[in-house]
Chain A
């Protein structure tokens, strides 16, 4: 019996759903509108794709979501949990209190009390000072009385020695049973404030994720899919089970962007390339390295600086719905977009707004399979000089962004995906080849549906205290263990990437080791 997977990706304007068979062949795809609550849009897409495909519900083994629940909650400061914040590091770290430079409204909706206690380590793994368990106990009791939703714990150099963070979890299991305790060394890497910020945001998002998962699980039950396993796309292009992601919701915060980059790889099998994902309002340009999105050093979420793993992308306000204007003799394309209203407002649909899509239609670059769309309108109504100049401008902006995302000058393969990607030409400056694969408009949902289960571990070691082999082995074991926790079939888990980053100016040969482990879904 064939087992099928459903992939769902939530974009800013559209929610896409696909069904794939075991060989990752596309069986059916649907596009619907994204809804403000996100969940009802997902349910619509799911229902449509099930009905359209004719696949029996019993044969759906997994539903894989790439969702915007968490980013929306953080940006809109809605439904977030109240977090008790624990910082371990005194007497160090007192000069900057937790959440100091957060936007005030976000801090107010998350903060349920901050406590700073003695402890933490140096980069050598030696304790800075004795761990202050009494103060910790008092803080946890205060959190209990206040009724916090979660606790976020950050200790100095916990990426070298997590001992003191683990102690908090032990004591909290006794004092705060049932309250999620988030430890920073499980969230991100070096940079105390950025890691602490990510840990607090993660703790605040747990409630949002629990609610989203419950609503989706109920919807699956209503559709006769209670047997299907739920997975959630992560920021690094991998996926994780519902049980795991409920502990680490921050790992989904910009997953949809990674889904399309990863989807571009799945559709082309080209592991190293530049990917441009063109939607209705924006184009995201990122890079594929060995089949996964290249990561950025830091990312701001809802106005807060963090160092979670996230794709390195340039977002430009130029996509299918971008409005074309002439101002002071200059042709402008975007960043304002008609978005989903393209099919009402675009010239080719009988509307009055010249959009990027109309320009591409007039130029004869693309065709649209929609009886309501008449490219003849674009050709007759838009003067040809404007078509030429606007199209040249569009290409210039895209080529410029492609060049900015590159790390070296040599031409690279460029893969075009997304609902608006048909508007681009077959050749681009700086591109060795330009590929727009079949099903490019569903790359994001396909990326979500085909993702492997994955986990990344980043730890710091001193190669004077531990051999290089032992350090890599230690980090690899931990990454594999986490991949299994995230829902990977243990017999398939393998190390996908090992990266060693020397930390300059630190004696003792200090190195940051980063290991990514991936495996197939355990179904």
Chain B
């Protein structure tokens, strides 16, 4: 087995098979995860401090390439679920997900070989790193979204036919339950109810699977991508280059709009924070308006009555001065912003993918058109 430790060169961690995270990697990863979080996914501040605490305690976090997992390796994704405000107040013990893992190991009568993130965006990008540090387990450089989404079945594991259950769900006290459900939607529903009983946050080990299936289903390189995004921004700022150009370069993204937020409306429908923000164009966008519709995450961007981007492609709002991403709950009048869109993983662009997370699933009666196609249409009509 080849082991390559951090060697910085023009090629990045993407080409590395195994490496250990440094504090700088963590800082970069959190910035990248906020951008891939597309306005949702929870405040990564708590997640960042959890990982830094692990490093300060002398533990190590090992990231491995998906190719390191044999076909029969036992891989279990781990995540937190629940309410962001609870995570801010009832800080985790850091051991919660270990209870879930242990319970699942007992159920399968087999030790876990690798853990994996289910989300690349928001706070769940860092949770598996804490678990990896606590258990000394390597974390696979991949995930099930390549971004952030609000529900448990919104993962590529689901569209590849992997069952969410048997899954385990625990709290900080050590309460743990194992669920076996008829489908992944039921897993979401029951887990959500248990989360409430636990006090508003819960820790899950879910979509247990084996290397062969995982390799087909997962989105490869997402931890490295988040680190690269954060690093590109940091280095661009240091060198006095435009951070947004660097960001678009790494993510193959596009600038959609630049302007000032002139209106934000919020509606609380079905327990989700839905709403829309209207941005008035500045500079080369003067005279135009962009509307962003969101539900936890940014879902659709409409410029002067024409859809210019939609889920599952990523839409992120950045502060135009600092280049920092702005979450949907922090959108407000007067902010100067830059809106970018990045292509989602190809797996979301299949019919099963679009059925799960396409615009129609979120209630928008529009056809999905990949961002790079939409952009070309605008440039070359």
Name A residues whose Cβ lies closer than 8 Å to a Cβ of B. 89-97, 100-101, 120, 122-124, 128-129, 156-157, 190-193, 403-409, 502-507
Contacts and interface: CB of A to CB of B under 8 A. Distances in A.
A100 B199 CA distance: 25
B92 interface: yes
B90 A89 contact: yes
B262 interface: yes
A156 B93 contact: no
Contact of A156 (B84, B90, B271): B90
Q: Interface majority SS on B: helix, strand, loop or mixed?
A: mixed
A506 B56 CA distance: 33
Contacts of B271: 504-505
B110 interface: no
B88 A192 contact: yes
Contacts, number: 108
Interface string B122-151: 000000001000000000000000000000
Contacts of A192: 88-91
10 contacts: A92-B93, A95-B53, A122-B90, A123-B90, A123-B200, A129-B173, A193-B49, A193-B91, A407-B332, A505-B84
Nearest to B171: A92
A190 B172 contact: no
Nearest to A507: B196
Contacts of A120: 90
A506 B86 contact: yes
A90 B94 CA distance: 11
Contact of B92 (A93, A101, A190, A404): A93
Nearest to A307: B88
Contacts of A128: 90, 172-173, 199
B90 A101 contact: no
Interface in B5-56: 46, 49-50, 52-53, 56
Interface in B304-337: 332-336
B172 A503 contact: no
B88 A92 contact: no
A100 B53 contact: yes
B130 A95 contact: yes
Contacts of B56: 100
B95 interface: yes
B199 A124 contact: yes
B4 interface: no
B93 A100 contact: no
Contacts of A123: 86, 89-90, 199-200
Contacts of A403: 260, 334
Interface in B82-124: 82-86, 88-95
B268 interface: yes
B71 interface: no
Contacts of A124: 199
A73 to B, nearest CB: 26
A122 B52 CA distance: 26
B172 to A, nearest CB: 4
A128 B199 CA distance: 9
Contacts of A96: 46, 49-50, 53, 91
With a 10 A CB-CB cut-off, give which of B49, B56, B89, B273 has the most chain A CB atoms.
B89
Contacts of A92: 90-93, 172
Nearest to A90: B93
A90 B260 CA distance: 45
A91 B93 contact: yes
Contacts of A404: 334-336
A94 B95 contact: yes
B94 A408 contact: no
Contacts of A90: 93
Contacts of A122: 90, 199-200
A77 to B, nearest CB: 21
A122 B171 CA distance: 12
